[in-house]
Homo-oligomer: A and B are copies of this chain.
Amino acid sequence: MTDTDNNSLPERKRGSGVKMVYAILRDEILDLVLPPGSPIDEVQLAERFKLSRTPIREALVRLAGEGLIDTLPNRSTMVSNIDFLNLHTFFEALVLMYRVTTRLAAQNHRPEDLSAIRGFHEDYAAAVQSRDALAMIATNAAFHAAIAEAGRNPYFTGLFRRLLDEGRRILRLYYQSYEEQFPQRFVDEHAEIIAAIEARDVEAADRLGKAHAEQIVEQVQKLFTRNNKLEIDL
């Protein structure tokens, strides 16, 4: 965990350091390369990225702002835990944002939005075909983020992106233990959603978005209860 990618170019532009550290750390957290509770050591990161502690620190402040890491004053910093006890609040917010963003996309999308959405739709279908669970997680999130962007409400897309990030962590946690997969059904639902958006059928988009979200939540909850049962059985 100490020396994974030291082969990065020693030539870096001024100001790119923070962004790079932020992006890499963010991905490692969301992909559970850094699992919840992992200690974050500034000095270690400074050595790894060959930077001083200052830009590392700035990246950490940003991550803390998004709730991805927790900082104990004067003491350690660690990757924030997933609050399993309050998962229902996460699902609650997720379902509503699925609904709202799909509805707004039907209302406000422009032609160019649809091609972006269709692109991610195809990526997702390909991931399902090849049974690549991690690709499914990523492309599904990208698909819905694109729909949210087409809805053109930055307040909603902001919250939704955060929820999708957190979902990426939760799903990854699950899929690393069990080789489950999203069913073909989700691909079909995505196609229906696209059709509703294109037809500017606001009510249908709302309904489909809600149903789709509830499907996903239900599946995740099913997987989790099974997961917990197995853990208890050990």
Contacts and interface: CB of A to CB of B under 8 A. Distances in A.
17 contacts: A14-B74, A15-B73, A54-B54, A57-B58, A61-B61, A61-B65, A62-B65, A65-B65, A65-B66, A89-B154, A90-B155, A92-B155, A93-B155, A93-B156, A155-B159, A158-B159, A159-B159
Nearest to A59: B61
A6 interface: no
A100 interface: yes
Nearest to A88: B153
B153 A89 contact: yes
A93 to B, nearest CB: 4
Contacts of A61: 58, 61-62, 65
Interface string A175-189: 000000000000000
Contacts of A74: 14-15
Nearest to A162: B155
A230 to B, nearest CB: 29
